[in-house]
Amino acid sequence: MEKAALFDFNLTLPAIAIEFLLLMVALDKLYFTPLGKFMDERDAKIRAELGDVKDASEEVRQLEEQAAAVLKAARAEIAAALNKMKKETTQELEAKLEEGRSRVEAELVEALANLEAQKEEAVKALDAQIASLSDEIVKKVLPSA
């Protein structure tokens, strides 16, 4: 009997090596090449979609800027309309207030004129009463002469 050697170089080693190489070539042709081709196609497709998304994101950004500009213009237009309406309302109120003031002043002048006329009438009436009272007092105080 032979002793077992660490490495026994008989026909088994070259047969296993040939099987390994054949298996490697077969796997490369049947499995890894189609898989690599599929992965390359998928990578190219993903990159193309990413490029489309970047283009779309640029369009979205531009649309957002346009929307912001439209909103800003609308807000400015609304503010201008509100200011105009406020000025018109203020002018109308001032005109009505001025009309009311002038009416009140006219009524006040008329009332003062009426009071002045009543005062003069009252003074005339008092003058007449004073004259008659003084005549009566004189008649009573001084006996008839």
Q: What is the pLDDT of residues 45-86, one digit of tens each?
A: 999 988 888 878 888 888 999 999 999 999 999 999 999 999
What is the pTM assigned to this prediction? 0.43
Q: Please give the Cα distance from 105 to 28 (Å, whole number).
A: 110
Residue 97: both structure tokens together: 């207030």
Q: What are phi and psi of 20, to 5 degrees?
A: -60, -45
